[in-house]
């Protein structure tokens, strides 16, 4: 899932300085299951903002709304009606949700209430950890299912740095050393020999370094869209 967390209330309030009535929109997907942008969090943030502004003698009306998926056009349609009487929209979606709203409603101010953190999993109740950076060329087959791109602070491809101690990363004691885990898993699988060959430099062109990425599946596209592009 995509993991995000609420921005400080002060930062959100600053974005809403000039607003008197806003629509707070949650998202029913990733940010609901990481407890940052579901209906409860929308209610909590709406109440917090109303109280803060009331105390400051500048009342703010916050209308609460939810969509199942902020990152897909068709789910956003019902919001058009609710947006009629507001001067800004506060998105409790991830960065993708915020941008989808901004693209769909180009004349409305769309503001982020969350900081989008990473793609990860709940490693324990109330704890989320990063597992993938979307580098565009997965190497998990070579590293026993443990990602050195997202889990090693130095993104090493050929073994641990000199700071690995007792299975912990030198950058943060709470973080396990990815290469320690990769080695132990390879040994358990009887595959440590696979880690002996030199992994050549990675082509980062498939990662964000190559610019905004796009995936196209022509078999799924609308024929008229393809015709349009063909004519351009």
Whose Cβ is closer to another protein: residue 118's or residue 157's? 157
Distance CA 33, CA 3 (A): 9
118 touches another protein (CB under 8 A): no
167 touches another protein (CB under 8 A): yes
Q: Taking contact as CB under 8 A, which single stretch among the options 84-92, 110-118, 137-145, 176-184 is the one that binds another protein?
A: 176-184
Residue 36 near residue 114 (C-beta atoms within 8 A): yes
Residue choice 153, 175, 176, 206 for contact with another protein (CB under 8 A):
153
154 touches another protein (CB under 8 A): yes
Whose Cβ is closer to another protein: residue 47's or residue 138's? 47
Q: Taking contact as CB under 8 A, which single stretch among the options 40-48, 71-79, 130-138, 212-220 is the one that binds another protein?
A: 40-48
Instruction: Provide the β-strand partners of residue 25.
Output: 65, 91
DSSP letter assigned to residue 29? S
Distance CA 97, CA 84 (A): 20
With H, G, I as helix, E, B as strand and everything else as coil, classify residue 212. coil
Residue 40 near residue 34 (C-beta atoms within 8 A): no
Size of the site for another protein (CB under 8 A): 47
Whose Cβ is closer to another protein: residue 56's or residue 103's? 56
229 touches another protein (CB under 8 A): no
Residue choice 119, 133, 204, 206 for contact with another protein (CB under 8 A):
204
**Residue of 39, 85, 87, 81 whose CA lies nearest to 64:** 39
Bin 144: left if φ > 0, else alpha if -120 < ψ < 50, else beta: left
3-state SS record for 6-23: ECCHHHHHHHCCCCCEEE
Bin 155: left if φ > 0, else alpha if -120 < ψ < 50, else beta: left
Q: Taking contact as CB under 8 A, which single stretch among the options 41-49, 71-79, 108-116, 223-231 is the one that binds another protein?
A: 41-49
Residue choice 16, 101, 177, 178 for contact with another protein (CB under 8 A):
177
Residues that bind another protein (CB under 8 A): 8-10, 40, 43-44, 47-48, 50-52, 54-56, 153-167, 170-172, 177, 179-180, 183-184, 187, 192, 195-196, 198-202, 204
């Amino acid at each position: 899932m995509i993991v995000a967390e609420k921005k400080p209330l002060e930062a959100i309030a600053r974005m809403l300085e000039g607003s008197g009535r806003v629509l707070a929109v949650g998202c029913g997907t990733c940010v609901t299951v990481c407890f940052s942008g579901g209906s409860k969090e929308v209610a909590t943030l709406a109440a917090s903002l109303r109280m803060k502004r009331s105390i400051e003698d500048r009342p703010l009306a916050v209308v609460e709304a939810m969509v199942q998926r902020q990152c897909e056009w068709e789910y956003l349609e019902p919001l058009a009606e609710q947006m009629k009487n507001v001067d800004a929209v506060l998105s409790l979606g991830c960065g993708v949700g915020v941008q989808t709203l901004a693209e769909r409603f180009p004349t409305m101010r769309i503001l982020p209430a969350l900081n989008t953190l990473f793609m990860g999993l709940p490693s324990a109740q109330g704890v989320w950890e990063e597992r993938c950076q979307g580098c565009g060329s997965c190497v998990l087959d070579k590293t026993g299912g443990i990602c050195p791109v997202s889990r090693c602070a130095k993104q090493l491809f050929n073994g641990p740095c000199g700071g690995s101690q007792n299975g912990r990363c030198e950058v943060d004691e709470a973080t396990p050393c990815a290469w320690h885990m990769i080695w132990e898993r390879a040994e358990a699988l009887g595959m440590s020999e696979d880690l002996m060959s030199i992994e050549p430099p990675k082509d980062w062109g498939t990662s964000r370094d190559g610019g905004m990425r796009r995936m196209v599946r022509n078999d799924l596209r609308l024929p008229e869209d393809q015709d349009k592009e063909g004519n351009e």
